[in-house]
Structure formats: C-alpha cells, structure tokens
Amino acid sequence: MTYISKPKLHHPGLLKNAAGFTRRDYEGAVSTLCAGCGHDSISAAIIQACYELDILPHQVAKLSGIGCSSKAPTYFLGASHGFNTVHGRMPSVMTGANLANRDLIYMGVSGDGDSASIGLGQFAHVMRRGLNMVYIVMNNGVYGLTKGQFSATADKGSVSKKGLPNSDSSIDLVSMAILMGATFVGRSFSGDKRQLVPLIKAAVQHKGAAFIDVVSPCVAFNNHAGSTKSYDYVREHNDAVNFIDFIESRTEITTDYAAGTLQEVQQHDGSTLRLRKLNDAYDPCDKVTALNQIQKAEAAGEVITGLLYLDPLPKDLHENLNTVDTPLNALVEADLCPGQAALDKFNAGLR
Amino acid sequence: MKATDISNPDYFHKVVDCQWACPAHTPVPEYIRLIAHGRYSDAYMINWKSNVFPGILGRTCDRPCEPACRRTRVEDETVVGKREPVAICRLKRVAADYKDDDIGAMMPKAPAKNGKRVACVGGGPASLTVARDLAVLGYEITIFDQDPKLGGFIRTQIPHFRLPESVIDEEVGFIVDIGNIEFKHKRIDSMKALLTEGYDAVFVGSGAPRGRELDVPGRQEAGANIHIGIDWLSSVSFGHITKVGKRVIVLGGGNTAMDCCRTARRLGGEDVKVIVRSGFEEMKASPWEKEDAIGEDIPILNFLVPKAVTHENGKITGVTFEKVKAEYDAKGRRNLVPTGEPDPHYPCDDVLVAIGQENSFPWIEADSGIEFDRWGLPKLSETTFASSHPQVFFGGDAAFGPKNIIWAAAHGHDAAISIHKTLQGEDASERPAPGMNIVSQKMGIHEWSYDNAPSDENRRKVPHRAKAEALKDIMAEVELGFDPDLAWKEAQRCLNCDVQTVFAANLCIECDACVDICPMDSISFVDNAEESLLRGTLMAPALNLTQDIYIADGLKTGRVMAKDEDVCLHCGLCAERCPTGAWDMRKYYVEMTQAEHACHKR
C-alpha cells in the first residue's frame, strides 16, 4: 500500500470518452494490496475497459466475496455500486441483485479461494443459471491473506514458497465454467492488458454468464521458481489461442500481436465479434473441441489463454424465467396489484 | 531507441527544468526544500554559491526558471485555475530575508595571496562574481568603476522601491569581505594603459552603458525635457534628480521603461504613460513588471511609433506618433506598417527614452589586440569568454550585449574558471564537469526523505505595500516578500524534480504496478522503436519533444521501459508500488564546478 493518495493531477492530454469521463474517473481508492500484486493490474484493466466502453459508473454493480481479490473492487469504479458479501456467497447476492434490477451491469470479482473452495457450489450454480454478468476470478493459486497456503487452483506438483510440492489435484475453473453452462469463458494474464482489456470489454457486452479466469501472480507468496502462477512461468507458458481484435460499433482495438486468421462471430444482439486466431485449430464456438484443447494444453503444462468458449446466442436467467423487461424494482403497485378484475380473470383461468 | 545513459550528469540535470533553464544552474529544488524546513541560511548559501546575489536576484531576476517550471505543464486548470510555476524567484528572497544575522561567518575568507593580480573593469555583477571566485583562490583583485560605489547597474538602474540599497550593500559586502579585493573609484579610459599596469589578467565587465537615442524632429529643440532612461534612473539613484513633470511619456517596452514610468510616478508624475512601438504582448518587459506598472495607474499604449517632438519657445509640448499595425510576411517576420489613421498627439512635460541599450567600448583602442565584430561586440569564445588578447576576458552585458543579472553571474563564473586555468598554465577550453551527488531518498518501505505528495495549491501572491503609501516614498519597497508561513505553502508546490525516478531493469518483473499507479501515465513498457514512432505508442503520447524519454532495456520480455519525463510529478508512487525495488527515488544534486575546483593542479 502507499501512504499518499494518488495525486489528482493527471496527464494534460487525458481524453474524455463519449460519456464525458476520463480514464481517471473510473478509478477507485488507492490500493492497499501488496506492491506489485497482479490484482491491481486487473483493476487497471477493468478501469480501461469501462472507460473504453463509455460506461456510466452508476450503471455498474460490483460484487465480491472475501479475500485479496475481493478487496479489489474498492480500487476501481469508485462511483459505482458495490457489495462485499460473505465468503463464497457473492453469486447468490449477485443473482438477487440481478433479479431485482436487470438494467445494471453486474461485475463479480472473486478469487481462487472464494470461488474454487468455499464458494465452489455457488460458482457452479450461477454459471448454470446463465446470470447476465461478468465473473472475474483473480487467480493466484494461494491464500495470500493467510500467508500463502495452496489454494484449490494450485497445480498439482507446483511448489510453495517454503519448498513443499502440492499433492492435491487442481480445480480448473475455466473447464468447470464451460461444463456448467457459462456462455462466455476466457482466460488471461494480469501481465498482459493487451489481451485482457478487450476480453473484459467483450464480456461486459455479452448478454449471459461471462467468466474470465485471470492468472494473477501473488508477488508475496507465489512468484518463485517452481510456482506455475508466477510472472515468469506464465510468460514462458502462455499459449494464447486468440485475441479479440474488434467489437462492432466500437473503435478498433489496435494491438501488435502477430496476425493470424480472422474469425467473425455474429452475436445475439446482432453485433460482430472479430477474433484473430493465433492457433488455427482452435474454435471457441465448438464446446467439445474447446474442452478437449483446454485439457490437452493443461496436460502439457501450458497456460491456455484467450476467448476459450463462446456461445454467440446465449440465454440469460431473465429470459429463462420470462420476466418482464422492466426491472422488478421499478414495478409500481399498479403493476404488482392489478386489481380484483385481473385476479378474478386469473382465477377463472385455473378453474 | 538507445538505452538512456543516466551516468551523464546532463540527463537528470535536464529533468530539473528550473535548474537547467537557469544560466547559473542554481539547484532550485534543493534550496526550496531547505526553505520549507526553515533552514534559510543553508538555502541562502546554496544560492550565494551559485548565483552570488540571492537577495538582489530574489527581487529583480528575470527568472528564466519560472516559465520552465514543470508545474506549468502539469497543473489541471479545472482544479487550480491558471497554470502557474512555483514562485521560485520570490522564495529565493525569503532565504535572503530570513537568513541568520551571522551568516557572514559561513562565507569563505581569502587565503594567502598567490602572487597573481587580476583587474576587473566595471563594478557590476559580472566583475563581482569574478572577484569572488578568484579571491578565494588567493588572487589579488582590483575592481575599477566610474561610480563611487560597487554594484554597477544593480545600484544605478534598479529603483530602490524595487531593490533597497541595503540589500546591495550587504551582498556587495559579502564579496569584498572575503579579502584581497580592492575597489578603485576610477573610470578606465585606456585599455592599453591598463595592460601596462602589470595585471596578469583583465576582466571586462563594463556592461552595456549607452542608452539608445531618440532620433526624431524636435529632439534637439526640446532636449531639456527629454532624458535617456538609464542615465535618468542613475541620476535619480544618486539623488541628482528629484522631480519630474506632471505629464510624462515613457518611450520603450522593456524593463527599463517599466522602471522609468514607476519612478516618474514617485517623483511627481501624475499622468504617466508608456508608449511602445510593438504590440503589448511582444513587449520585452517581464509580464510581472508590466502588471506592476499598470497597477500603479500607468497605461501602456501600443503600436505607436514616435514621429516628432512638439515644442513651443524651446519648451516641450508633447509627442506625435504614427499608428501602426503588425503584418507578418511569408517567413513569419513582423513588419510594422502605418494604418493610415491620423497621427495622435500626446501632450507632456517630460519624455523618458528607454528604447534600448548598446555596448560601447570607446576606451578600448583599436590596436590594443582586442578584436571586435561588426556589431561592435568583442570577438569571444562562447565557452571561455576569452577575447583575442590572451590576458583579456569579457563577461556580463559587455560580452554578448544586454542580458540580465543572472546571466552576468553565470558569465562571471565561467570567466573566472578561464582566468584561473589560464594563469595556472592549463587549457581554458577544457571545462570542468559539474559535480553530481546521488542519494537514494528511501527511508522505509513507503517513506521518503522528501515530501512526495504533490500540492494542488495555487501560486501564492507576494504581498505589496498599499499603493497610496508606496507612491509617496521612492525609497519604500513595494513588494513585502513572503512571510515564513506563505513561503512554506509556496515551497510545498515544488515537485522536487531533482528527486529522480531511477530504474533498474535487472530487478523488474514487469508486473505493471508502476504503469497502473502513475498519475501522469508517464511510464510504459513497449516494444522498442525509433523515437518518433515510440513516442506515439506510450500510455500517453509524448508530444513535448523538448523533454526526453528515459529508455531502459534488458527486460525479460524484450520490451523496453519508456518513461516520458515531461509531466512526471516525482511523487515516487512508481517506486512505492514496485515490489522489487526496480524503481528508486534518488536525489541528483548537480552543482556547477566553479573556479575553486576547476584546475587539476592546485
């Protein structure tokens, strides 16, 4: 953490987006995480994505559980709604909030402990239900707040800072999310904003359950040789299958990745998502081969990143429940109690 | 781009915009911090060593440091209003005002004489600087001046309501008190004669003593009421002139014109006008001096070229002007062309002519061995200030034409180095490198030995004496100076640009923490490219080409760290957020080497 708050002074050339805000307006309080924490880079990527999407801060709700990662929402979108829930219970609170007001953008931020251990059940069910949300796991493979014990996502055989190998199998949240029915699943790395920012932007625009697993090195407890979630390991083993090049109706994302073949995905709302493939054999719209490739990469010790699975025609919870378009919290008494005549008519229908 | 060589003293010196812009390269942030700590004497001594006249310059400097100040580039107009530099000049005065009474004890004393004698012609700031730098080395200095007291134009041209004589006396005294310095009240009329007097070297710091003449019809006839500005100011300074007419026209747009008009207001001038050829914006006077003049009810009329002085019975009645406008040719050169409107006539009782100064060396004979160029200036080496005569050196306004006090001090230091090296048998063209002292400012994990939080405060205004009171007394100083409380607040605005962000690529893990925290988007990790391309790929495009990009290579990913020095706040957040200590905040104290340490053999 730092002793001084981030100065208000900013670059004189700082631009405003269409919503009238600068990137700095999407910041939150100064981070109290350890210096160099990957989570802060992910916060910065979220800030950048929201700025580029011209999002109005009051239309975002950010929710989190418990842990280092779950502290992060304090450090971005300082003018948005926030809810710090009970450990592992963020998905239920988010489901409730989403049911009450479907108009907000829901951003769930969680960690590997919060989502893969205590909250694994909630994680699975929120994906199944297809909640319209962006669910980001800041995944560092250790319990940082309790000094670096292995978490459930630590790879089997990886070595702790004290030198002990992990004997348990790891939970792969990406595969789980796909299996559970998430319709947008990606993985990225906190040290690669060129890949992460467009991925977050696409996830925000996805009308369904969007999940991004972001490998985020813990500089204090999991950034040593033998760790599979260190800056060096991820950089050496990063197997990026694609990156998002263009989202229709948005300004072009310029990036200097090597050019590959293009894949255009027509989405539910009619917009086009353009993927530039780095691995021609990878098709994120084919669930079976995608899962197959993910397993293969993991068996080879590679960290497969990119947009790993996309259902271009997702159905979200509200669609499944056939709720009205008006947010439930905006329904007035006249909508909810239409009167005796309406009740009589309804009752008659049951006779 | 090539990796930046930070071992070159100039690299980080340049980042300290104020110090780099200062002709004498005074370590500004260092003395501002000392003022904030209440260590006025220490702040004074840093100035005294570097620019010799802190109390004088703290009131009168042309302050090239201030337009260079980084705050003019980083302040947010929506938060602080107008973007303004730190009031560097007026903080310097604080050091002079509040220094300890026994500061003389901190001044050096002359050692035993080394047997060599140096003559300084002219008793102004350039000569005094040479005298100070050489006296501490054992030289015997003789200063000649036509006026009865040392100080030169500082004493004769600057009105006492801007610069009290006591300040001049004190700072001239600090130099003379070193010892081995003799003042002779004598006008030098012959360089050749002087050269026969056995001096080992002669320094010419005789200024630009001739005021430019007004050449219009009526000048001669009405001559009794037309005065050359600098001569008139000098006469006022020595008390020879104590009155002026009620209606005064001052011709000219420089700082001398501003001094003339404000002096006239105090000697009985009720309707005083400044009339300039150029536009108001292009006037040579410093903006704050124009402001002060306007504040004393002196209108400045522009685009008026004097055409004739009108007179009746040998008495002046006024001046007729031609109205002009500025037109720019294809090359952007300005021409003043008549507008064709009727010529305005302004009645007046006195005219003060302050339309420029010129060099004048009637006392240097053509066969004295000193060559002059076609503009009448001596042919000099720009680094050594040596003339074509091996024993004669120039400095101050006498060297390259009229400048100002801080330039004179800078020239004096350089000429003193040349004289010392020459007289010690060394090559004067080999200049000494500046001294550099590097100290990490890290005190603890997140603790720095400087105040790293940038201030959002506006520039403080220096309190002025009430106008009615100020105009009554020509000796009453108008500016009252900052008190310690205001000085502290103003000092906090300094961004400590000498505390440098120093990067060690071998420690960096490329976690982006510095990139994310930097409030000014100054830091980027990018693929290396030509400078023109690279400047466009940074977090914020680096459009200010006068400011360097700090490049460090040797990162694991093969990218480079590129930091745009332009708008860095030196807040140290990059170093605070760095998990590996790849960033460190280090104070680079750069100090110009003076004659005292310029020679290899001593």
CB B516 within 8 A of CB A37: no
Of B454, B522, B580, the CB nearest to A7: B454
pLDDT at B80: 64
ipTM score of the complex? 0.89
> Which residue has tokens 């004295």?
B368
Measured in angstroms, the CA of A95 and the nearest CA of chain B are apart by 31
Long-range Cβ pairs for the range A172-175 (8 Å, 24+): A172/A294, A172/A298, A173/A112, A173/A115, A173/A116, A173/A123, A173/A137, A173/A139, A173/A211, A173/A213, A174/A211, A174/A213, A174/A294, A174/A308, A175/A291, A175/A294, A175/A295
Of B74, B543, B557, the CB nearest to A9: B74
Best CA proximity match to B158, nearest among B125, B205, B206, B203 = B125
Taking the C-alpha atoms of residue A62 and residue A77, their distance in angstroms, rounded to an integer, is: 8
In chain A, which residues have their Cβ closer than 8 Å to the Cβ of B556?
232, 235
CB B120 within 8 A of CB B144: yes
The mean pLDDT of A173-183, rounded to a whole number, is 96
pLDDT at A251: 46
DSSP letters along B140-193, please? EEEEEESSSSTTTHHHHTS-TTTS-HHHHHHHHHHHHTTSSEEEEE-----HHH
Of B446, B454, B527, the CB nearest to A9: B454
CB B390 within 8 A of CB B5: no
Lowest-confidence segment of B423-437, B459-473, B587-601 by average pLDDT? B587-601
The rounded mean pLDDT for chain B is 94
pLDDT at A281: 78
Full 3-state SS string of B233-256: HHHHHCCCCCCCCCEEEEECCCHH
pLDDT at B334: 86
Sign of CA dihedral B59, B61, B65, B69: positive
Q: Which residues pair with A275 in a beta bridge?
A: A244, A263
Of B456, B571, B580, the CB nearest to A36: B580
The angle subtended at Cα A117 by Cα A116 and Cα A118, nearest 5°, is 120
Q: Is B556 on the interface with A (CB under 8 A)?
A: yes
Which fold is adopted by the domain B107-209+359-423? Answer: FAD/NAD(P)-binding domain (3.50.50)
- CB count within 10 Å of CB B193 equals 12
Structure confidence by residue, pLDDT tens digits, B86-143: 999 999 999 999 999 999 999 999 999 999 999 999 999 999 999 999 999 999 999 9
In chain A, which residues have their Cβ closer than 8 Å to the Cβ of B535?
none
Q: Is B168 on the interface with A (CB under 8 A)?
A: no
- CB spacing of B577 vs A2 below 8 angstroms: yes
pLDDT at A250: 47
Residue from B84, B86, B512 to probe the interface with A (highest A Cβ count within 10 Å): B512
pLDDT at B372: 94
- Name the 3-class secondary structure at A60: strand
The rounded mean pLDDT for chain A is 91
Measured in angstroms, the CA of A112 and the nearest CA of chain B are apart by 20
Measured in angstroms, the CA of A311 and the nearest CA of chain B are apart by 32
CB B549 within 8 A of CB B565: yes
Taking the C-alpha atoms of residue B3 and residue B480, their distance in angstroms, rounded to an integer, is: 49
- For B359-516, strand residue ranges (E) read 392-394, 435-440, 442-444, 447-448, 499-503
Residue in A closest to B515 by C-alpha: A41
Of B452, B520, B557, the CB nearest to A9: B520
- Ranges for all domains in chain B classified under CATH 3.50.50.60: 107-209+359-423, 211-355
Residue A126 has pLDDT above 90, yes or no: yes
Q: Which residues pair with B523 in a beta bridge?
A: B563
Taking the C-alpha atoms of residue A50 and residue A72, their distance in angstroms, rounded to an integer, is: 15
Measured in angstroms, the CA of A4 and the nearest CA of chain B are apart by 6
Structure confidence by residue, pLDDT tens digits, A338-350: 999 999 999 999 9
- Name the 3-class secondary structure at B309: strand
Q: Which residues contact A11 (CB under 8 A, 6 or more apart)?
A: B520, B521, B522, B540, B567
- Name the 3-class secondary structure at A221: coil
Residue in B closest to A42 by C-alpha: B516
Chains A and B form CB pairs within 8 A to the count of 107
- CB spacing of A11 vs B513 below 8 angstroms: no
Measured in angstroms, the CA of A301 and the nearest CA of chain B are apart by 20
Q: Which residues of A156-183 are buried (b: 16+ CB within 10 A; e: fewer)?
A: eebbbbeeeebeeebbbbbbbbbebbbb
Residue in A closest to B521 by C-alpha: A11
Residue B1 has pLDDT above 80, yes or no: yes
Q: Is B517 on the interface with A (CB under 8 A)?
A: yes
Structure confidence by residue, pLDDT tens digits, B195-234: 999 999 999 999 988 889 999 999 999 989 999 999 999 9
Residue in B closest to A38 by C-alpha: B511
Residue B515 has pLDDT above 70, yes or no: yes
Residue in A closest to B75 by C-alpha: A9
Tell me the pLDDT band of A277, cut-offs 50, 70 and 90.
confident
pLDDT at A282: 84
Tell me the pLDDT band of A248, cut-offs 50, 70 and 90.
low
The CA radius of gyration of chain B, in Å to the nearest whole number, is: 26
- CB spacing of B516 vs A235 below 8 angstroms: no
Tell me the pLDDT band of A268, cut-offs 50, 70 and 90.
low
Using CA atoms, how far residue B438 sits from B83, B442, B498, in Å, is 31, 12, 10
Measured in angstroms, the CA of A227 and the nearest CA of chain B are apart by 15
Which fold is adopted by the domain A23-324? Answer: Rossmann fold (3.40.50)
List all residues of chain B from 218 to 257 with a beta carbon under 8 Å from chain A.
none
Hey, where are the domains in chain A? 23-324
Of B513, B540, B571, the CB nearest to A13: B540
The mean pLDDT of B182-187, rounded to a whole number, is 96
Domain B211-355 class in CATH: alpha beta
**In one letter, which amino acid is B402?**
P
pLDDT at B486: 96
Rounded to an integer, what is the distance from CA A67 to the centroid of its chain? 16
Decide which of A265 and B89 is more confident: B89
In chain A, which residues have their Cβ closer than 8 Å to the Cβ of B79?
8-9
Tokens of A217: 């090195």
Measured in angstroms, the CA of A13 and the nearest CA of chain B are apart by 7
In chain B, which residues have their Cβ closer than 8 Å to the Cβ of A24?
519
Residue A255 has pLDDT above 60, yes or no: no
Structure confidence by residue, pLDDT tens digits, B342-391: 999 999 999 999 999 988 899 999 999 999 998 889 999 999 999 999 99
Of A6, A41, A44, the CB nearest to B573: A6
The mean pLDDT of A161-184, rounded to a whole number, is 95
- CB spacing of A191 vs B512 below 8 angstroms: yes
Query: What burial class does residue A128 get, using C-beta atoms within 10 Å of its C-beta: 0-12 exposed, 13-18 middle, 19+ buried?
Result: middle
The mean pLDDT of A79-86, rounded to a whole number, is 96
Taking the C-alpha atoms of residue A91 and residue A136, their distance in angstroms, rounded to an integer, is: 12
Taking the C-alpha atoms of residue A241 and residue A308, their distance in angstroms, rounded to an integer, is: 8
Q: Is B76 on the interface with A (CB under 8 A)?
A: yes
Tell me the pLDDT band of B278, cut-offs 50, 70 and 90.
very high
In chain A, which residues have their Cβ closer than 8 Å to the Cβ of B577?
2, 35-36, 40
Residue A259 has pLDDT above 60, yes or no: no
Tell me the pLDDT band of A241, cut-offs 50, 70 and 90.
confident
Structure confidence by residue, pLDDT tens digits, B287-328: 999 999 999 999 999 999 999 999 998 899 999 999 999 998
pLDDT at A46: 97
Taking the C-alpha atoms of residue A166 and residue B166, their distance in angstroms, rounded to an integer, is: 80
**In one letter, which amino acid is B532?**
S
Residue from B80, B456, B509, B537 to probe the interface with A (highest A Cβ count within 10 Å): B509
Share of chain B above pLDDT 70, in %: 99
Rounded to an integer, what is the distance from CA B78 to the centroid of its chain? 31
- CB spacing of A36 vs B557 below 8 angstroms: no
Measured in angstroms, the CA of A279 and the nearest CA of chain B are apart by 21
Measured in angstroms, the CA of B36 and the nearest CA of chain A are apart by 19
Q: Is B510 on the interface with A (CB under 8 A)?
A: yes
CB B496 within 8 A of CB B122: no
Phi then psi dihedrals of residue A69, to 5 deg = -60, -40
Measured in angstroms, the CA of A20 and the nearest CA of chain B are apart by 15
